[in-house]
C-alpha cells in the first residue's frame, strides 16, 4: 500500500461489507463474533497466498499423478490474547491441521505498553511459517512484542494479520520488524489520546467477549 510498504489492505467487497457491520456500535456480541470469524477467514485466504508448495506423487482411482501440497511443517496460527482468539477458527477452517499457539498480552491502560502473561507456541519455530492474529493494530506495542517473543524462539517467517490497523501501528511494525508483512481489512485514520483507533470498532476484546 502506498506509503506503507509492509501493509496489504484487503479491499474485497465481502470483507468491506462485513467490516462495516463490525464497526457499527449496535452490533451485538453474537454477530460481532461471527463477523470477526468470517472476516478472518477471508483475510487468511490472502495471507496464505504466498505459502510454499511442494510436488508429490499420488494415485487417483485411475492413475498416478503429481499434485502440489503445502511444503514442510504446517503454518502455526498464533493468537494474541484475548481478542486474537476470535480470529483463530477463521484461519484454521482453511488450514485445519495448523497448530495453534497463544501469546498473552494486555495493554496497560495508562502507559499503553504491552504486559505479557502467557506464552505457548508449537515446536519447530525455525522451520515453520507463523500467522500472528489480533484484530487491532493500534500503537503496535502488542504486535511488535509478540513478534519479538516469536523470534526469541527461532521463528523466521512471520505474517501479521489484523482487521483494523492504525498508521502508527503499521509504521511501528515496519521499523521494529521490517520483514513482517501486515495484512488488514482497513487502514484507519489515527489513534485518539487513549490509544484507540479512529474510527475503529472500539475495544475488540470487550466486544468479542461481552465484557463491555
Site string for ligand URA, 166-195 (x = CB under 6 A): -----------------------------x
Find the helix packing angle between 85-92 and 29-47, rounded to 10°: 50
Q: Which does 197 bind (CB under 5 to 8 A by kind): ligand URA, ligand PRP, none?
A: ligand URA
CB-nearer residue toward ligand URA: 125 or 187:
187
Q: Which of 77, 138, 147, 161 binds ligand URA (CB under 6 A)?
A: 138
Half-sphere exposure (Cβ direction) of 152: Cα atoms closer than 13 Å:
9
Q: Does 6 bind ligand PRP (CB under 6 A)?
A: no
Q: CA–CA separation, 121 vs 129, rounded Å?
A: 12
Site string for ligand PRP, 21-60 (x = CB under 6 A): ----------------------------------------
Q: What is the DSSP letter of 125?
A: G
Q: Which of 10, 87, 136, 184 binds ligand PRP (CB under 6 A)?
A: 136
Alpha helices in the chain (DSSP H): 13-23, 29-47, 85-92, 141-152, 167-176, 204-209
Q: Does 158 bind ligand URA (CB under 6 A)?
A: no
- Please report the sign of the dihedral spanned by the C-alpha atoms of residue 146, residue 148, residue 153, residue 158: positive
Contact stretch for ligand PRP (CB under 6 A) within 12-20, 51-59, 104-112, 122-130: 104-112
Q: Does 203 bind ligand URA (CB under 6 A)?
A: yes
Site string for ligand PRP, 115-134 (x = CB under 6 A): -------------------x
Q: CA–CA separation, 30 vs 37, rounded Å?
A: 11
CB-nearer residue toward ligand PRP: 33 or 107:
107
Residue nearest ligand PRP by beta-carbon distance: 205
Q: Does 91 bind ligand URA (CB under 6 A)?
A: no
Minimum distance from residue 87 beta carbon to ligand PRP (Å): 10
158 CA to centre of own chain = 10
Minimum distance from residue 72 beta carbon to ligand PRP (Å): 29
Sheet containing 7-9, strands listed edge to edge, beginning at the edge strand earlier in sequence: 7-9, 181-184, 157-161, 129-133, 76-81, 100-107, 114-120
Q: Does 140 bind ligand URA (CB under 6 A)?
A: no
Q: Which residues, in sequence order, are CB contacts of 131 under 8 Å at separation 6+?
A: 44, 47, 48, 75, 76, 77, 78, 91, 98, 159, 161
Amino acid at each position: 500500500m502506498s506509503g506503507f510498504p509492509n501493509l496489504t489492505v484487503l479491499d474485497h467487497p465481502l470483507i468491506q461489507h462485513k467490516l462495516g457491520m463490525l464497526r457499527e456500535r449496535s452490533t451485538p456480541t453474537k454477530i460481532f463474533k461471527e463477523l470477526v470469524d468470517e472476516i478472518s477467514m477471508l483475510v487468511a485466504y490472502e495471507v496464505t497466498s504466498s505459502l510454499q508448495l511442494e510436488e508429490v506423487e499420488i494415485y487417483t482411482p485411475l492413475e498416478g499423478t503429481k499434485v502440489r501440497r503445502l511444503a514442510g511443517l504446517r503454518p502455526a496460527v498464533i493468537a494474541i490474547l484475548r481478542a486474537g482468539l476470535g480470529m483463530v477458527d477463521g484461519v484454521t477452517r482453511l488450514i485445519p491441521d495448523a497448530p495453534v499457539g497463544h501469546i498473552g498480552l494486555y495493554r496497560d491502560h495508562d502507559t499503553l505498553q504491552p504486559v505479557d502473561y502467557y506464552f505457548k507456541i508449537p515446536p519447530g519455530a525455525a522451520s515453520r511459517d507463523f500467522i500472528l492474529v489480533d484484530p487491532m493494530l493500534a500503537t503496535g506495542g502488542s504486535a511488535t512484542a509478540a513478534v519479538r517473543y516469536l523470534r526469541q524462539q527461532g521463528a523466521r517467517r512471520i505474517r501479521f494479520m489484523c482487521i483494523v490497523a492504525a498508521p502508527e501501528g503499521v509504521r511501528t511494525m515496519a521499523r521494529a520488524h521490517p520483514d513482517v508483512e501486515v495484512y488488514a481489512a482497513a487502514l484507519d485514520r489515527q489513534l485518539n489520546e487513549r490509544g484507540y483507533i479512529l474510527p475503529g470498532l472500539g475495544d475488540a476484546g470487550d466486544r468479542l467477549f461481552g465484557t463491555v
